[in-house]
Amino acid sequence: SYDRPEMDQHFAAPESELQQRIAGVWQEFLGIGRVGILDDFFALGGHSLLSLRIVSRLNTELELELPVNVIFEHPTIADLAQHIESISLDMDEDKMAELLDMVEGLSDEELQTRLSGGDAES
């Protein structure tokens, strides 16, 4: 790996766990010792094929379905992490809505059975 190239902006270290995980993947694929959260992927030497490989790895590691062009739309770690967090929040809200719909459809007896660890359908 080599050192981070000279950039217009100062180095800003990853703060959140998500930023650290993204930075780790970028560092691995770009071959750079450290990547800042405000560093532009393409200014670091990234290109379209590399972005596809990174998106594939992030999708696997984070259990997501990011589109292949996500790094073009969010070329910094800070921006990409914020985008992923907003997607995850939307997914959590969708899952919660599904769960509430399911619970509302259960009788009190079925709900009690499920809460106690039993299967309401037995």
Owning domain of residue 82: 17-115
DSSP code string of the chain: -BPPPP-SSPP----SHHHHHHHHHHHHHHTBS---TTS-TTTTT--HHHHHHHHHHHHHHHT----TTHHHHS-SHHHHHHHHHHHHHHHHHHHHHHHHHHHHTS-HHHHHHHHTT--TT-
pLDDT at position 106, please?
A: 81
What's residue 121's pLDDT?
53
Whether 2 is in a domain gets the answer no
Asked whether residue 6 is domain-assigned, the answer is no
Query: What pLDDT, on a 0 to 100 scale, did the predictor assign at position 122?
Result: 45
For residue 45, tell me if it sits in a domain.
Answer: yes
Q: Is residue 3 in a domain?
A: no
- 47: domain CATH number is 1.10.1200.10
Give me the number of domains the chain comprises.
1
Mean pLDDT of the chain: 87
In a domain, 121, yes or no: no
Question: Does residue 87 lie within any of the structural domains?
Answer: yes
**What stretches in the chain show pLDDT beneath 50?**
120, 122
Query: 98 in a domain, yes or no?
Result: yes
Question: Is residue 7 assigned to a domain?
Answer: no
pLDDT score at 18: 96
